[in-house]
Amino acid sequence: MSDHHRHDEEHDHHHPHGNRPLTEPELRVKALEQVLTEKGLIDTAAVDALIETYETKVGPHNGARVVARAWVDADYKRRLLADGTKAIAELGYSGIQGEDMVVVENTDTVHNVLVCTLCSCYPWPTLGLPPAWYKAAPYRSRVIIDPRGVLKEFGLNLDDDVEVRVWDSTAELRYMVLPQRPPGTEKLTETELAALVTRDAMIGVARLASPKR
């Protein structure tokens, strides 16, 4: 794999609110949607389909399933690290923003963290929409210059002998971190393992803790 992108040393039925009052941003979104619909600028069916996609079909739960499969299936893990795009597609996750994927593995001696310095390129099919801090200029610039310092701000303190690798996504190539499997999970099922995996761990700004007993 080339190191080109790596730097060494993340209508009412549209939104399920239940019975709670709408927040100010939700009210604004609803009003904007109504105006655009009345002017014929958007298709409500298309909006419904888009929202359903991001609520049910893409998101960190997909990436978590990929990680859990890699933890329990050594052959799948080898395929995932060799050709992330193809292996992820085996589980049904592909498409826009996920066409070309590279998966990088955290180990006892190497910790990986993701960024997009140019904009906010992000693997939507496996991680969903990027968090606000991932798109913010301070993260995008500082994680390249001082990755350890940024990770500390996320509560992640790495030993000095752990190498930090920062992977810079582009419009052509996106990355996902394969976190280390937490100790004490040997008896968990694949589904239970997937429930432990977080978005931040797959970006690389967090480590996964052992499940509470």
Give the active site residues: 116, 119-121
Place of tokens 């694949």: 190
Pairing mode, if any, of strands 163-168 and 6-8? antiparallel
Q: Which residues of 98-129 are buried (b: 16+ CB within 10 A; e: fewer)?
A: beebbbbebeeeebbbbbbbeebbbbbbbbbb
Question: Whole-angstrom Cα distance, residue 173 to residue 171?
Answer: 6
Is residue 168 within 8 Å of residue 6, measured between CB atoms?
A: yes
Sign of the Cα torsion 136, 142, 143, 144 reads positive
Is residue 203 within 8 Å of residue 10, measured between CB atoms?
A: yes
